[in-house]
Amino acid sequence: MKHLISVQDLSRTDTLHILDTARELDRVTNGGIKLLPTLRGRTVVNLFYEDSTRTRLSFERAAKRLSADVVTVSAKGSSLSKGESLKDTALTLNAMGADMIVVRHPSPGAAHRLAHAGWLDSRVLNAGDGKHEHPTQALADALTIRARLRPEAVDFDGLTIGIVGDVLHSRVARSNIFLLASLGANVVVIGPPTLLPVRIENWPCTVSYSLDAALPELDVIMMLRVQQERMNGTFFPSELEYSRSFGLNRSRAAALPTHAIVMHPGPMNRGVEITAEVADGTRSVITEQVANGLKVRMAIMYLLIGGDVSVA
């Protein structure tokens, strides 16, 4: 593996190896060694064309914990905001000797282009490309599900995972559907047809338009953020109608099996797709997702540019 662009590039073995590595790195860092020397002397560039707090911070912390030199370039206050092309930015970063570029970009395929257009030699890690993919988020979610529901098992056979809401515009949903299905989970996508991609029935998932009907079957429910700008347009009549049909509130949470967990990739619209009560409730693993995000990002950086340096 040279780059991580799409979860569809990962074999089941690759995925399990990343998850195992994340667990191992976690064990080592929790053992009192806060920093690992693994990436000492390596340069990781976080290239963020979109605003982001949690993902950018998570990548920065992951790189620093592995002792890499970290440079973050954000769209605001840099040449990116002056309209410099992706290619020219790539050539610049390459000339400066970046070992890895972590890129978030609004255009689907931007990470793929960086990796394969011949602009640079660095490893490329996709931190979200438009509506396409966000592979590290899906790996974090898989790690979370594994820790909670399948601590001993190898894969997710027998688990039913519901992904609810705006799949059409969600890179998190795309990466999760393909990754979780590849691990053996039964993925159910739930939302209004206006927010589901056409022909999604051909993806490795089933489709439901009724959240209430699906709830009793779900071991995991993953709520997607609904962008405000989608709410009052042609995708959905109103925020209120969305909440009534697809919002996760206390009574819906009560209809889940007792062992079920509630996930959200963040940032949340409290009161829209999820109520504060459920988001902060005992079933919620939302903060664990954040913590696991750090672990899988460390694992991927280690595997992509850590070379043959041993973990311990």
Partner 1 sequence: MSLNSYLIVGSRPYGEQVCDIRITNGLISEIGSGLEPGDHQVVKAHDLISLPSFVDLHTHLREPGREDAETIASGSRAATLGGFSAVFAMANTTPVADTAGVVEQVWRIGRETGLVDVFPIGAVSVGLHGEALAELGAMAASAAKVTVFSDDGNCVSDPLLMRRALEYVKTFDGVIAQHAQDPRLTQGAQMNEGELSGILGLTGWPAVAEEAIIARDVLLTSHVDSRLHVCHVSTSGSVAIIRWAKEMGIRVTAEVTPHHLLLTEDLVSSFDPVYKVNPPLRSRADTLALREALADGTLDIVATDHAPHPHESKDCEWDSAAFGMLGLETALGVVVAAMAETPGWSWRTLSERMSTVPAKIGRALNHGRPLAVGEPAHIVLVNPQKTREVVPSQLASLSGNTPYAGMTLPVSVTDVFFNGVHQVRGGELHE
Scored b (16 or more CB within 10 A) or e, 208-224 reads beebeebbeebbbbbbb
Cβ–Cβ under 8 Å, residues 248 and 274: yes
User: Least distance in Å: CB of 99 to partner 1?
Assistant: 22
- Is 117 or 154 the residue whose CB approaches partner 1 more closely? 117
DSSP reduced 3-state for 92: helix
- Is 121 or 152 the residue whose CB approaches partner 1 more closely? 121
Is residue 104 part of the annotated active site? The answer reads yes
- Is 90 or 231 the residue whose CB approaches partner 1 more closely? 90
Q: Which amino acid, residue 186?
A: N
Output the CA–CA distances (angstroms, integers) from residue 68 to 23, 53, 158, 223, in the order listed.
20, 20, 39, 34
User: Least distance in Å: CB of 130 to partner 1?
Assistant: 5
Catalytic residue among 34, 53, 76, 82: 82
User: Least distance in Å: CB of 195 to partner 1?
Assistant: 12
Catalytic residue among 56, 134, 150, 171: 134
Is residue 105 part of the annotated active site? The answer reads no
Catalytic residue among 15, 38, 43, 55: 55
**For binding to partner 1 (CB under 8 A), which residues are involved?**
85-87, 105-110, 112-113, 116-117, 129-133, 168, 171, 174, 197-200, 202-203
Distance in angstroms (rounded) separating the CA atoms of residues 55 and 67: 18
- Is 28 or 200 the residue whose CB approaches partner 1 more closely? 200
Which long-range contacts does 14-21 make (Cβ < 8 Å, 24+ apart)? Answer: 15/139, 15/142, 15/179, 15/182, 15/183, 16/154, 16/155, 16/183, 17/303, 18/139, 18/296, 18/299, 18/300, 18/303, 19/139, 19/142, 19/143, 19/146, 19/296, 19/299, 21/299, 21/302, 21/303, 21/311
- Is 169 or 295 the residue whose CB approaches partner 1 more closely? 169
User: Least distance in Å: CB of 104 to partner 1?
Assistant: 13
Going by C-alpha positions, the residue among 47, 171, 146 that lies closest to residue 161 is 146
User: Least distance in Å: CB of 199 to partner 1?
Assistant: 4
Going by C-alpha positions, the residue among 64, 41, 44, 106 that lies closest to residue 294 is 64
User: Least distance in Å: CB of 143 to partner 1?
Assistant: 23
Cβ–Cβ under 8 Å, residues 144 and 285: yes
Distance in angstroms (rounded) separating the CA atoms of residues 48 and 65: 20
Is residue 55 part of the annotated active site? The answer reads yes
- Is 95 or 198 the residue whose CB approaches partner 1 more closely? 198
Q: Which residues contact 223 (CB under 8 A, 6 or more apart)?
A: 164, 165, 248, 262, 263, 264, 268, 273, 274
User: Least distance in Å: CB of 167 to partner 1?
Assistant: 9
Is residue 150 part of the annotated active site? The answer reads no
- Is 84 or 241 the residue whose CB approaches partner 1 more closely? 84
Catalytic residue among 23, 56, 65, 104: 104
Q: Which residues form the catalytic set?
A: 54-55, 82, 104, 134
